Each structure stands twice: as C-alpha cells, then as structure tokens.
A and B are shown apart, each in its own frame.
Chain A
Amino acid sequence: MSVKRKQKVVVGLIYAILILTALVILYPIAFVIIGSMNPGQTLMSFSFNPDRLTLHHYERLFMEKDYLLWYKNTLKIAFFTMILSTVLIVMTAYSLSRFRFAGRRQALMAMLVLQMFPSFMGLIALYILLLQINLLDSHWGLILIYAGGSIPFGAWLCKGYFDGIPRSLEEAAKIDGASHSIIFFRVMLPLSMPIVVFIAVSNFIGPWMDFILARLVLRSSEKKTLAIGLYEMVTGQQNTEFTMFAAGAVLVAVPITILFIMLQKYMVEGLRAGANKG
C-alpha cells in the first residue's frame, strides 16, 4: 500500500469516527427536542418518529405549571447574583493584584484553602444563619449565599488575569494624577474584559444549574427556581411528565446555549487565562 493510499484510508477512518461521534453528541439534544413535541405524555410513549408533532406541552407548561414564575424567579436570582458577585470579585482581585499590604499573602492562601472544602459542609450553618436573619425562603438569601460563595474561586481566577496586565499603563495614568478609581475604570477594566465577562456569565449561569442550595433555602412553591421545578418533574418513578420536562428543558437550554455560543470566545479565553495561573 502506498503512502498516499494509506493516508487516504486514515483520513476516511477519521471522518467516520468524527461523524459517528457527532451523532452521539447530538443524540441527547435531538432526543429532548423531539421528546418535547411528542404527542404522548410519558417516556414510554416517546418515539423518534411520532405521527405528528405538537407544541401542546409548551402550552401546558405555562397553563398547568408555574413555569413562567419559576423562570422569572431564576432570572431574578441569576441577574442579581451576577451583578453582586462580579462587583465583589473584581474589587477583591484588583486589590490583591495591584496593592501590597499586610495580610495579603494570608488572604491569597485563605482563598485557596477555602475552595477545597466540600461546598455543602456549611449547609446546616447557612440554613440556621438565614433563619436567624429572616432570609430563609427568600431569593435574597440565596443571592447572598451564591455571591459570597463565588468569591474565593472567582477572585483567584480574576487576580491571575490582572497580574498578566502590564503595570506601565497604570503608572503612566498615576503620573498624570488619576485616582485609583479612575485608573481602575479607565485603564484596567477595558483591558480585562474577557475575564470580567467570563466571571459575569459563569455567575449568571450558576443559579440556573444549582438546585442543592435552592432546595435548601427556598421552601414555598411560589419561590421555586427552574432547576427544582424540572428536577421534580422527572425524578418520580413513572416519568409521567416526561414530555413537559422536555419542553421545559428546551426552554431553559436555548437561551443559555445561545448566550454561551455568543460569548464562547470570552469563555474559552477566560478558562485558559485562569488555567495558566492555576
């Protein structure tokens, strides 16, 4: 067999594997989209090739379930978590990256150590704490916990990025008499957009995914988030609400996926920058 032919066989093989993998990758996505439009209600009646497609389950989601309410709750929590944690993280990272003061190294070490504890080790304490300050079963309680919890990891990542930005620009601005705040907003922030976007987006997406804390904090059904609502639809034994779950899942996944693809460049870059400092 000549080298050329061998090469052709290899490339053909690669294409075969790539196409096969693409099918595996796309299968769950197709499954849930077609599932959401199946006429039946249960997983048992699901078919990849149903007699007809229907949008009925999307309607039912809004009519029979409090889907719109869950959506609003989640959106609210995600939005405020994003704002609060981004501000906290960026402030912390800026301070740790650009200033030298007593206790700085200890603060950095503490941030690393704090990330290593299993996240819900403090669950009971948080519960009682929220109970005492009357924030149990409230969205703000959840937002505060999310924001606080995001600081160690986020600030570490963000500090790594800031460290990579040369100081000469700031020093020039300082000579021109600019204050700390002006230097930060005019010089640092524009240069660190990738990491700021990365942190904002990942903190926005976080609350959509989490249901451990949400289930702990939010008690009443009108406070529920999407994750809890969807989880409860498919964890029963019978899967009688499968198609509605599929419809709900599609409606959650579509905006998040679009957001992700739009910001993919930032996400990848943010990940790499953070990883380098790792």
Chain B
Amino acid sequence: MEASTDITPNVVNERQTGNNRPRRAVVAALLSVLFMGLGQFYNRQYVKGGLMFLLELYVLVVWSRPFMKAMWGLYTLGETVQQRVRGRVVEQGDHSIFLMIQGIIFVLLLVMFVWTYVLNVRDAFKTGQWIAEGNKPPGIGETISNIKDKGYPILLLLPAIIFTLFVTVLPLIFGILIAFTNYSSPHYLPPRNLVDWVGFKTFTDLFRLRTWSNTFYGVFTWTVIWAVASTVTTYFIGLFYAVMINHRGVRFKKFWRALYILPWAVPQFVSILIFRNIFNGQFGPINRFLVSLGFERIPFLTDATVAKITLIGVNLWFGLPFWLILMTGVLTGIDKEMYEAAEVDGATPWQQFWKLTLPLVLFSTAPLLILSFANNFNNFNMIYLFTDGGPANGNYNYAGSTDILISWIYKLTLDHGQYNMASVVSILIFVLIATISIWNFRRTRAFKEEDMIQ
C-alpha cells in the first residue's frame, strides 16, 4: 500500500512543465486528508481508493479504543496498585512496564499509519495533477506492476525494518524512557508496585548523591584509562611486530604472521576464561611457578591496581592479531622508494621509522584507532569474564574496582534491579561514543564520497 503511492510522482515530474497548479489535484489531496482513499475515488482509481478506504475504516473501528488505552497507560504508567492480603494477590493491579512497552508499540504503529496517510495524500495530489494534464488515471494492474518495479528496494528493506524496529529501536526507546522513571529495586518494582515518571531526577541523583557520584566518577575514570591504554598498547605492539616481521632479514614471514593470528581464531570467551585460570591467584600456574622459585604470589585478580595492569597486559594477546594484519597491509602499501631515498640521505633505520613509517601509518589508521577506542570503551567481555569487575570495592555502589561503565550497567540491571540508573549511565555512554564516532566518521572520506556515484 505504501509503495503504491510512491509510483506516479516520478513519472509526473518528468512530464510536468511547471505551469498552473491544477485545482483538481488540490481537491483530490484535500479529499484524501478527509478520509483515506476519497481522493483516489475522485481520481477514478476505484480499486486503490476502496482498499485505502477499508484500511482506514479497519484501523478506526478496531484500533482506536486499544490505542486510547495504550496512550493512557504510557501517560500514567498505571493507576491501580496490586492488592495483597496476607501475601496473596487479590487484585492484579496495573503493570507499569507492560503498559509502557505497549504504549511504545502503539506509538510506533501510529507513526507507520501516519506515514501511510501522508503517502496517500501525496498520491492523490500527484495523480490529480496527472489527470489534469489530460492523462488517463493508472488502473490497478498498472499500479501493481509499478509497485513491483519501484517498490522493489522498499520490499527488500521491509523485513529488516520490521526486525530493527522491534529488536533494536523499540527496546532502545524503552531503555531511554526508563531513565526518566523511578523503575528500580526495591520500592518500585512491578508487578507489586507502580512506576512513575520522575523527569530528570535520576540524572541529578547520579551527580548529586555522594555514593552514586563517587562510583560514577571512579568507574568513568578507569573506563577512560582502560580504553586509552588498551587501544594504544595494542596499536603500538601491532605496529612493532609488523615492522619486525617486515624486516628484510627475517625469513618465514608468512609463518610468523599465521602464528600470531591464532589468538583471533580461538573463540574469545574461551580464551578469556582460560586466562582467568592462568592468572588465578591461588592455584594458577604462574603463581605456583613463582612460589616454586621462592617468590611471593602476585595478587593478579585480588589487588585493584595489579588487576588493572593484568587486564591491560592480557588484552595485548587479544588485540595483537587485528593490528598486526592491518599494519602489515599498510606497510606493504608504503612506497619502497621513499625508504631508498631516505637511506641515500643517510637516515638511520631508527630515523626512518619515526620520520617515515610512523606518520604514514598513523595517517591511514587514525579512523580505525578511534573506532577501536570506542570498542574498548565498551569491551564488556574482557572485563566481565576475566575479573568480573573484582576485586570488590567498598566505596562503590554495585561496582568492583575493575568494572568499566558497561559492566557496571550490566550489574545494575541484571543483579541489582537499578534499571533507571543503568539507563541514565547508558545514555551518557551513548552521548560520548556517538560524539566521538560521528566526529570520526565525518572526517573519513567514506562519508563525504557517499552517494557520489549517483
């Protein structure tokens, strides 16, 4: 239905000579505003008009009451509290969260309907023009064949749109809205209690209440340190090894590269769990080896500072393959003559690296460097599987010493029911990552050149 309305305009645009605006088109459009399909009737497109008319009739008759109820639910988040007598439920009461999600679904459906409506008006207008120019209105057969042709890209997109709408967009809208409610354990948990809109209160709580703000600033600082350190170390280690393997005296280059890609091939969660065992403070092989040599055990996972250093160190193992592959690609792309010229001028290999290789590599990998920063910022698996956020930190609200924002959110949501606070932190992460990514993205050529082919 939506697609069908999109057909005629292009054809019309080509023919239109841009003179007087036909009254007929305006009348058709107005009729379609009044009720879907009326304008099409006026344009003598009876089948199409009839179908549209039926669609609006169906929506009005069947869906207006549920819609009103859903809007009431979204606005109030329920009014009847669950009644209990001696622990048994006597009256179910309203479930605020279900009401909220239902409300969002109906708003999304409304948007889709309004879109259809707009297309319907546009179609009536364009067809009206077409007829006013003395053409015959397209019959239903023509319309269908037009849908097949012009509607093809939309048809291809439709499944993805529906999926994304329900699996990504709807949960995200819900996630954002939660930040403006008091949805949290223990006092505002449906179905026992109702949830209310509270505006920006949770945001101000995060910064005003000492326990929250302490945790937030502490976790945030470590997240930034972690993201910068893990990105920079893997980046330079990757470059370092790529340059070494590239050295003209080194043989079996392919063998070394294949060997070093291995960490990438092993499933990540398996290898993180393996590392967790290797660095086990009590029974791990490294500490047992140290003890057998007469040294003290190192508290890899139980001391906050050591755990952080261990994390950054272990992350090298995971980050090396990615950068090694990329750097190798970049290095082979660099013109050999530049090095020869540099050599003739008497530059040492050291100077060649700093003055030639590094600037060139940095230049071509900068966007990926920033992308990788964003990834590490949200590297949930590494933190959660390796240290589980530990060791515990008494000064933090629901977070351990090595928790980064994303793993803190996870704990807030799944372990402690602090949904509203988790949502506020998610929004802050989004703002930060989005700013960085968009800035990064705008700089890359990909964005500027997008659509040049047309």
Residues of A within 8 A of B (CB): 7-8, 10-11, 14-15, 17-18, 21-22, 24-29, 31-32, 35, 42-44, 46, 48, 88-89, 91-92, 94-96, 98-102, 105, 107-108, 112-114, 116-126, 128-129, 132, 144-145, 147-149, 151-152, 155, 160, 163, 167, 180, 205, 208-209, 211-212, 216, 227, 230-231, 234-235, 239, 242, 245-246, 249, 252-253, 256-257, 260-261, 264, 268, 271-272, 275-278
Contact = CB atoms under 8 A, between A and B. Distances in A.
Given A10-B249, A14-B250, A234 B326 contact: no
A35 to B, nearest CB: 8
Nearest to B150: A101
A132 B410 CA distance: 23
A174 B73 CA distance: 52
Per DSSP, chain A at the interface is helix
Contacts of B98: 128, 132
B220 interface: no
A140 B228 CA distance: 38
Determine which residue in B157, B175, B178, B374 has the highest number of CB atoms from chain A within 10 A of its CB, and name it.
B157
The 4 closest A-B pairs by CB, nearest first: A122-B171, A148-B167, A99-B153, A11-B249
Contacts of B275: 28
B17 interface: no
Nearest to A215: B414
Contact of B441 (A105, A112, A155, A163): A112
Contacts of B426: 117-118, 121
A272 B260 CA distance: 18
Contacts of B451: 105
B283 interface: yes
B164 interface: yes
A88 B159 contact: yes
B216 to A, nearest CB: 15
A46 B430 contact: no
A266 B414 CA distance: 37
A31 B278 contact: yes
B285 A151 contact: no
B269 A46 contact: no
A45 B264 CA distance: 29
Nearest to A89: B160
19 contacts: A15-B250, A89-B160, A94-B156, A95-B153, A112-B441, A122-B174, A123-B414, A124-B178, A125-B174, A132-B101, A152-B168, A216-B414, A230-B269, A231-B273, A235-B388, A245-B273, A245-B277, A257-B266, A260-B265
Contacts of B282: 44
B146 interface: no
Given A91-B159, A118-B378, A29 B167 contact: no
B170 interface: yes
A8 B209 CA distance: 63
Interface stretch (B22-30, B63-71, B239-247): B239-247
B274 interface: yes
Given A21-B260, A31-B274, A116-B437, A276 B317 contact: no
Interface in B222-276: 241, 244-245, 247, 249-250, 256, 259-271, 273-276
Per DSSP, chain B at the interface is helix
Nearest to B452: A163
Given A112-B437, A129-B170, A278 B409 contact: no
B352 interface: no
Contacts of A257: 262, 265-266
Nearest to A105: B451
Contact of B413 (A117, A120, A211): A120
Contacts of B278: 27-28, 31
B371 A278 contact: yes
Contacts of B154: 95, 101
Nearest to B268: A209
Given A124-B419, A252-B267, A144 B167 contact: yes
Interface string B133-164: 00000000000000000101110110110011
Given A231-B269, A253-B270, A25 B260 contact: yes
A184 to B, nearest CB: 9
Contacts of B259: 22, 25-26
A113 B434 contact: yes
A199 to B, nearest CB: 13
Contact of B267 (A22, A46, A167, A253): A253
Determine which residue in A35, A120, A160, A167 has the highest number of CB atoms from chain B within 10 A of its CB, and name it.
A120
A260 B227 CA distance: 27
B101 A230 contact: no
A249 B250 contact: no
